[in-house]
Structure 1
Amino acid sequence: MAIIFLAILTSIIGVLSFYLWTWSYWKRRGIAGPSGYPILGSALEMLSSENPPYLQLKEWTKQYGKVYGITEGLSRTLVISDPDLVQEVFVKQYDNFFGRKLNPIQGDPNKDKRVNLFSSQGHRWKRLRTISSPTFSNNSLRKLKTTVEECAVELLRHIEQHTDGGQPIDLLDFYQEFTLDVIGRIAMGQTDSQMFKNPLLPYVRAVFGEPRKGLFLSGSLAPWIGPILRMVMFSLPNIVKNPAVHVIRHTSNAVEQRVKLRMADEKAGIDPGEPQDFIDLFLDAKSDDVELENNEDFTKAGVKVTRQLTTEEIVGQCFVFLIAGFDTTALSLSYSSFLLATHPKVQKKLQEEIDRECADPEVTFDQLSKLKYMECVIKETLRMYPLGALANSRCCMRATKIGNYEIDEGTNILCDTWTLHSDKSIWGEDAEEFKPERWESGDEHFYQKGGYIPFGLGPRQCIGMRLAYMEEKLLLSHILRKYTLEVCNKTQIPLKLIGSRTTQPESVWLNLTPRDDN
């Protein structure tokens, strides 16, 4: 018994020592940063919805400087907001940082059958990216424009109903209805508008809601538990209720139904014709025996890509496009509307441009490219309220050095985007001000400095950027031609920001006042 007790005690001490060794990793390397709690590190702060973690990073940067380290269980992360280091990680040394910082609950990006474009890495990412890219070309967006505009007109109809009598509305809710309708129709085979009656909306919203801290902490403290938790969530969805599982199952059903329909059409001799949505596009690249790639020799150059997807990978791509297309564009629209309402001169200038360039009832694809000031407004909004901060992370796949810092394999790099976007050395003394005019002289120098990354930077820059711009330009054009956005007694000034996966406003209550000149 004494030997057994001694063995157990030794094991416990060994495990605790290993966790404490990881917890003190950055201190031992002479890099400052918040210690957090023993073993847990800063994991709890990075899961808080009331104090969004990306705003917490900004506070830590003020305290520790532009480079500091944090731990989250067994995860080691170097936080950077130095634009030179950002360029080094995201562009110059992409071959050493081709993976993203992931939670173990997301699955192994090299083995997960449903891995998506966001979490995949190396050769597998390159294949998924190559197959998905044509969906977001100018030619494809031109074809999608009509669908997006139909959704915009439908939203306008709902706005008219809800603002009759001068009542304010929470535009965040309305924009979420709009973006889910758009992505449902262009990605998921939805044939008509489901606005304000879409049963999927509560589940998609919940994906970005309060995180299940116990679940994510378990994955951070014991990464080997991640696959088990993932299996339990998918095997027992009625017991372990997870909104992402519900959305994935919905996506899987949509793909399965499309496969059956295409098989029936093939038997009947019906040609599938042009792809109607993302599912069709991916099914055209479908294969049941794609061999998973080995990433050991991955470099961004000279990679031969097999243009094939498995059915499970198709589900993964549709899922991530649904989730990403829903949240980020709705948030950008919400922040833009708030800033326009609180800066009436900017709004007036934008309305004049819309009236001048979009005089006809239909806003054409070519007219969108003429809305130069609107583009400035959107870019400035994304500077002040960067949305995809979670995506601005990388994992070191091969030990290397950036600047004066030695980076071990497996170390995560996370960009403090909020600090970067308000850095006065990049943006000037008016960095805290909403000033769309700063973009009128061009934006190349901001990108070259590594100081502006709302859609990421380098080869893994957001694939849906141009679709997001098109959606926002179309909807704002229709709204601002008819209404003026104004603050009301429900408007939060400043906005209260919440959220853990993305940083979002709690609400965006505004009055939409019909324009006298219309």
Structure 2
Amino acid sequence: MRNDWSGQTFPHPPGRLRFVGDVRSVDPSRPLMSMLQHARTLGEIFEFQVFDQKFVFVAGARLGAELCDESRFGKDLPPALTSLREFAGDGLFTAFTEERNWGLAHDLLRPAFTRPAMQSYHPIMVETLDELFAYWDHQEGPVDVSRDMTKLTMETLSRAAFSKDFGSFTSTEVHPFVPAMISALRTAQRLATLDTAPGGALIKRRLRRRNAPHQAYVDDLIDGVVAERRAGPASDHDLLGIMLQTPHPETGERLDDLNIRFQILTFLVAGHETTSGALSFALYYLARHPEILARAQAETDEILGPDPDAVPEFEQVAKFRYLRRVLDEALRLWPTAPAFGRGPREEVTLSSGHTMRPGDWAIVMLPAMHRDPEVWGEDAEEFDPDRFLPERSRARPAHTYKPFGTGERACIGRQFALHESILVLARLLHRYDLSGDPGYVLDVSERLTIMPEGFELTLTPRTPAALTGGPAEDDQEPSEVPPSESTCQAGLNAISQTCPSGSDT
């Protein structure tokens, strides 16, 4: 895990100290933002040393695209992801590719994201969103966007994954599973920061002991649901049912109950935060750009008509082409799973001139790669949904837009996330006018993933325009999002958060 790159060196932040390395060069509460700042001066590939652990970051689009070549590279697990195995075991995003359960779960869960399965999730998404709207309609003053989007996506996923209602909008009490899950997850992330620190082993024992009741509660609740479902009538109406009832089509193998728990945790944790962050960033930019908001609302009016409570049919969600471009552009600037690790299948020489051998790994920093002016132009920092017009997407080099990761470890749930996100944006913009605090400065919170912090919106009921003539952009191709790696890779926080959380399954 020392990632020594055969002694090769890279640019690094100034002020490196003999024993602790570059620790002083990063804000432990905002490691990603620190790394993005360093990327502006250190170039397309650089390193960060924490005690005797080397982290190599790739920030340039050209080199990042090279690492996405599946014939030469695959997913690698940096220390923070390895530590998260204490929480999520060999679930999809923390499993090693060669592990039996990764291939088995990947094959078994593919049917959970086919078109018929997505059609079955659509009513769950609609019902949960109705609860959010009812909750908002009884609130006074601005709403906390990231908080409420997180409740929404957590509730939607828990119902779709294992038919569990946590009462996020219908109960005045927080379900104890939620804080227990957060505590267990944060502990797993903190463990990664201690692998190379003096006295780290002692601190890790204390953290595990303190977290044990939280971890036990999370494990017991899910194990209880699994046991109850095994004892009941067979059903494949949700992800849990598919995992319980579906054998591998070729081998007949099934997942054991422990791995089923890990898969449920994977979907709950990785899936809800990435989607809530994507929605929150999209709403931030819509509120900051009235002309883009007006164009998006015009699209919802053309498709949904004059009723502010209109609900898109499943087939209609794909018609919101401009909203999709808004979401794509928000994910370009702030991919909510902002990094992934890559390692070579055999010894290779990179275009940067560096030699990379099996056992070496690099972390692709997506917010930097997605801002590279060589690919995105001198206005790469600006928010412009029309970057994702079909002709402009086709003109860009391959593998330079990766909000969902890359390769065979692509995020298996990306279609779920995209469908939910567009459905939420369409109904929200059709129903409300948005206004934000003009004095708010975007503050990016770095948790398992990234999302705006302290971002509030005032929502005013609106009367949609009575437009006719059909969807304005119905004849255009949908925005291109290549298969990728990202609902899922987590962690890389605190000092190992200098490897911001990633995105592979």
TM-score computed with the length of structure 1 as normaliser: 0.78
Supply the distance in 2 between the matched residues of 1:371 and 1:29 (Cα, whole angstroms): 48
Supply the distance in 2 between the matched residues of 1:427 and 1:348 (Cα, whole angstroms): 25
Question: Which of 229, 234, 239 pairs up with 1:258?
Answer: 229
Going from structure 1 to structure 2, the CA distance change for 1:307 and 1:71 (only over 3 Å counts) comes to farther
Amino acid paired to 2:194: S
- 1:512 and 2:488 correspond: no
Partner of 2:134: 157
Partner of 1:394: 342
Partner of 1:350: 296
Partner of 1:415: 364
- 1:31 and 2:10 correspond: yes
Partner of 1:138: 115
CA contact under 8 A between 1:43 and 1:217: conserved in structure 2?
A: no
Partner of 2:262: 316
Write the deviation string for residues 453-499 of structure 1: whole angstroms up to 9, x where unpaired: 111122222111111111111112221111111113xx663211222
Q: How far apart are 1:250 and its partner, in Å?
A: 3.0
Write the deviation string for residues 395-450 of structure 1: whole angstroms up to 9, x where unpaired: 45644332221113322210121111111111112211111112123464477432
Partner of 2:405: 456
Write the deviation string for residues 201-228 of structure 1: whole angstroms up to 9, x where unpaired: 3344556769875x333224489959x9
Partner of 2:58: 80
Question: Which of 48, 71, 75 pairs up with 2:49?
Answer: 71
Supply the distance in 1 between the matched residues of 2:129 and 2:42 (Cα, whole angstroms): 45
CA contact under 8 A between 2:84 and 2:185: conserved in structure 1?
A: no
Going from structure 1 to structure 2, the CA distance change for 1:155 and 1:211 (only over 3 Å counts) comes to same
- 1:170 and 2:149 correspond: no
Q: How far apart are 1:176 and its partner, in Å?
A: 1.3
Going from structure 1 to structure 2, the CA distance change for 1:394 and 1:210 (only over 3 Å counts) comes to same
Which protein has the larger Cα radius of gyration, Structure 1 or Structure 2?
1
Within 5 A, what are the aligned runs for 1:230-245? Answer: 236=209, 239-240=210-211
Partner of 1:216: 192
Supply the distance in 2 between the matched residues of 1:129 and 1:31 (Cα, whole angstroms): 36
Write the deviation string for residues 217-250 of structure 1: whole angstroms up to 9, x where unpaired: 3224489959x958x867x4xx336856643443
CA contact under 8 A between 2:83 and 2:189: conserved in structure 1?
A: no
CA contact under 8 A between 1:48 and 1:499: conserved in structure 2?
A: no
Going from structure 1 to structure 2, the CA distance change for 1:396 and 1:256 (only over 3 Å counts) comes to farther
- 1:185 and 2:159 correspond: yes
Q: Provide the secondary structure at the position in 2 that maps to 1:122.
A: coil
Amino acid paired to 1:374: L
- Higher mean C-alpha displacement, 364-373 vs 242-251: 242-251
Going from structure 1 to structure 2, the CA distance change for 1:208 and 1:55 (only over 3 Å counts) comes to farther
Amino acid paired to 2:21: G
CA contact under 8 A between 1:335 and 1:385: conserved in structure 2?
A: yes
Partner of 1:338: 284
- Higher mean C-alpha displacement, 313-322 vs 196-205: 196-205
Supply the distance in 1 between the matched residues of 2:262 and 2:25 (Cα, whole angstroms): 29
Going from structure 1 to structure 2, the CA distance change for 1:141 and 1:113 (only over 3 Å counts) comes to closer
RMSD: 3.3
Write the deviation string for residues 1-34 of structure 1: whole angstroms up to 9, x where unpaired: xxxxxxxxxxxxxxxxxx9xx79x5795242223
Question: Which of 179, 185, 191 pairs up with 1:202?
Answer: 179
CA contact under 8 A between 2:287 and 2:293: conserved in structure 1?
A: yes
- 1:62 and 2:8 correspond: no
Within 5 A, what are the aligned runs for 1:102-141? Answer: 102-103=79-80, 104-107=82-85, 114-124=89-99, 125-141=102-118
Q: How far apart are 1:126 and its partner, in Å?
A: 2.5
Going from structure 1 to structure 2, the CA distance change for 1:122 and 1:26 (only over 3 Å counts) comes to closer
CA contact under 8 A between 1:31 and 1:68: conserved in structure 2?
A: yes
Q: How far apart are 1:183 and its partner, in Å?
A: 0.8
Amino acid paired to 1:276: H
Amino acid paired to 2:226: V
Supply the distance in 2 between the matched residues of 1:420 and 1:322 (Cα, whole angstroms): 27
Supply the distance in 1 between the matched residues of 2:393 and 2:223 (Cα, whole angstroms): 41
Q: Provide the secondary structure at the position in 1 that maps to 2:362.
A: strand
Within 5 A, what are the aligned runs for 1:439-450? Answer: 439-442=388-391, 444-445=393-394, 448-450=397-399
Amino acid paired to 1:140: A
Supply the distance in 1 between the matched residues of 2:5 and 2:68 (Cα, whole angstroms): 22
Partner of 1:293: none
Write the deviation string for residues 53-83 of structure 1: whole angstroms up to 9, x where unpaired: 2222211212211011223344333211233
Query: How many pairs were matched up?
Result: 453
Amino acid paired to 2:358: E
Going from structure 1 to structure 2, the CA distance change for 1:474 and 1:30 (only over 3 Å counts) comes to closer
Amino acid paired to 1:247: V
Partner of 1:292: none
Supply the distance in 2 between the matched residues of 1:396 and 1:123 (Cα, whole angstroms): 14
Amino acid paired to 2:452: P
Q: Provide the secondary structure at the position in 2 that maps to 1:84.
A: helix
CA contact under 8 A between 1:142 and 1:365: conserved in structure 2?
A: yes
Identity %: 21
Amino acid paired to 2:11: A
Amino acid paired to 1:256: A
